[in-house]
């Protein structure tokens, strides 16, 4: 069973450029430790203040409370006010 984590961030009262810059710094810091295909970052259409980070996992079991990587990202992004983290499981046939 594959699973993903979705981290959604809305920068309330902050410049979306600050969020983008912070996110770039985080991704650069993680680049050596995480495969590029394992993380995808999206921006909401017509709303630059909303960012969605998707972490792809190949392990068979999920980790309670999310992966260490998602916990690190959520903690680092808390300054942007609204951070929502969820775990999604692949539906197997």
* Model confidence pLDDT, tens digit, residues 36-64: 558 888 988 988 888 999 999 887 777 77
The CATH-assigned architecture of domain 3-89 is 2-Layer Sandwich (3.30)
Closest CA to 6 of 36, 51, 48, 44: 51
* Model confidence pLDDT, tens digit, residues 17-41: 788 888 888 887 776 666 655 888 8
Name 53's Cβ contacts closer than 8 Å, sequence gap at least 6.
6, 7, 8, 9, 23, 39, 40, 41, 42, 73
Rounded CA Rg of the chain: 13
Residue boundaries of the structural domains of the chain: 3-89
7 band by pLDDT with thresholds 50, 70 and 90: very high
């Amino acid at each position: 069973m594959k699973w993903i984590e979705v981290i959604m961030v809305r920068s309330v009262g902050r410049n979306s450029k600050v969020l983008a810059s912070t996110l770039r710094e985080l991704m650069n810091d993680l680049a050596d430790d995480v495969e590029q295909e394992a993380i995808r970052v999206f921006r909401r259409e017509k709303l630059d203040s909303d960012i969605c980070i998707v972490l792809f996992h190949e392990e068979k079991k999920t980790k309670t409370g999310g992966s260490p990587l998602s916990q690190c990202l959520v903690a680092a992004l808390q300054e942007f006010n609204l951070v929502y983290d969820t775990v999604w499981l692949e539906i197997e046939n």
